Amino acid sequence: MHENIYTIPINEAFEEPCGCPLCRLEARLRSDALEYVMGAAMMEPDVRIETNRQGFCREHLSAMLAMKNRLGLSLILQTHLEEVRKKGLPRGGLLGKPDCASAAKTLHKTADSCFVCRRVAEFMEHYYSNLLHMWESSDEFRLKFDNAEYICLHHLTELTERAAGALGKKRQPEFTDKAVSLAVKHLDSLQADVDTFCRSFEYQNAGKPLSEEEKHAAERVADALCGISFAE
């Protein structure tokens, strides 16, 4: 199968033995997007127009602050703040003015918008469609898919929602069955670990050692349900 900029990262993610491959892909995209926006792209006019317009969510703005490039971030926020004030604040700023309700809606949209989120989402769409095509057309990739540790429920939902349109009625049930089986098998294992952890607090189990998997059962369940990677 001919590889391209989307299929290579998918193959690499499925070659790693642990965790959800889609979570790895998304984490890599987030890291790349943050490096991109905080790098030379910040001085590109077309990128700056979009960062001014879309802004950043709390999670990604916090990550940008942690990157220690205060000048670069300040330059980005300088023009974004100008855009927010220009489009989102009522003239005069007094409560009761006719344009306050409209301004509140505009500011709400600004707070919910994020350049990094949108960039990651756009690339993930390419990954979803290419993954489904690879599964349909490549025996080698289907084997990699079957050998994944699990697919988290967040990415399982995203994949299965797209499978019907990408694979058609003939192949979609087979793919969904494989993907769901991966998730269920992992959840069964997690259920045993989290049950053991909870029982360890009962008096009759005091002092009994726990495995590393059992000690971190809550984090692992969160990861499997929502794609939250605490190891990240």
139, part of any domain: no
- Per residue in 147-168, pLDDT (tens digit) is 999 999 999 999 999 998 899 8
Domain termination site, one of 131, 162, 191: 131
Distance separating alpha carbons of residues 38 and 36, to the nearest angstrom: 6
96, part of any domain: yes
DSSP result, 97-135: -TTHHHHHHHHHHHHH--HHHHHHHHHHHHHHHHHHHHH
Q: Are residues 51 and 124 in the same domain?
A: yes
- Who has greater pLDDT, 107 or 187? 187
pTM flag (> 0.95): no
Q: Are residues 120 and 198 in the same domain?
A: no
Q: How many domains does the chain have?
A: 2
Cα separation values, 171 from 15, 67, 97, 174, Å: 24, 44, 58, 5
Question: CA-based Rg of the chain, rounded to a whole angstrom?
Answer: 22
- Per residue in 3-45, pLDDT (tens digit) is 677 889 999 999 988 889 999 999 999 999 999 999 988 889 9
- Who has greater pLDDT, 103 or 131? 131
Q: Are residues 110 and 192 in the same domain?
A: no
